[in-house]
Amino acid sequence: MAQPFRQVAIFGKPRADAGRLALQSTLREIARIVEAGGQSVLFEAATRDAGGLDPYPGYTLAQIGATADVAVVLGGDGTMLGIARELAPFNVPLIGINLGRLGFITDVAVAQMPEVLAAMLEGKYETDRRALLEAEVRRAGEVVFRARAVNDVVVSRGVTGGMVEFTVRVDGVTMYNQRADGVILATPTGSTAYALSASGPILHPSLAGFVLVPVAPQTLSNRPIALPDSVAVEIEITDVRDAGAHFDMQAFTSLAPGDIVCARRGRDVVTLLHPIGYNYFATLRSKLHWNVMPADGHTRS
């Protein structure tokens, strides 16, 4: 068992809808669990304000990165992705409390939280390290945009419709020229996100690789391909159609003809913490509704 955490940061996505009261109530419950264990609460400033938690001070991301031993993230996978990108350089591990829908990486249910979170903060957890992508957009040799991604880098057609034409190069070598609705470069974490809906394979998180998945390609023989995560991937726009690049579907930039999206594995990693007994295949069964045939022959989820 690891040493207990002492400085516990808490993040929650501010909400303006009917879920705001549930967010506020759960944030207070997390703070109560932390304090009951003798640990210090560090509320991120926007979370403190959204939760109406004025008695607590609010901390900036830089202050949390320099001080916190662990961060508890309340929300869905999208909330976790945003916080993970920001805290990765500080090497702060993350615990995800699922207040969203799917919950591939926010895997602690609110109903389980009182018992499970207290145990994890005391050092009873499984550690799971995930790769990041670092990407940039080059225009006429100049870098015009930079972003990071935990899930994926996506080049896609713009709002005017029509396929986008692009060339993919791996370590400087041309893989193919293609016309498609887009192309996805996904980490193992992102292989269960947009890449999966585009018929890409699922990569186990322990694999040192990426998956490159075309979206509705004109050439039907163009298939997803797994790549080692040591390579650099370039996607160059080769026609005049409207196109854009998305990073975890949370950052976006427009692309012009001749622009090159360059992506490679980042230097930092995201550290996720799971309850004792966590199993990746159990997560897949639960989230994807896979069935298991037990010895008695009756199909069960």
Catalytic center residues: 77
Task: Tell me the three state secondary structure of residue 72.
Answer: strand
CA distance 44 to 65: 11
**Cα-flanking dihedrals φ and ψ of residue 140, to 5°?**
55, 40
Six-digit token string for 195: 């890449």
Q: Give kind and range of the element (H or E) at residue 63.
A: helix 61-67
Six-digit token string for 174: 């041309």
Q: Sheet with 209-215: list strands edge to edge.
A: 225-228, 209-215, 182-186, 152-157, 243-247, 251-255
CA distance 52 to 46: 10
CA distance 200 to 47: 35
CA distance 9 to 265: 27
The DSSP-derived string for 118-156 is HHHHTT--EEEEEEEEEEEEEETTEEEEEEEESSEEEEE
The DSSP-derived string for 77-116 is HHHHHHHHHHHGGGT--EEEEE-SSS-SS--EEGGGHHHH
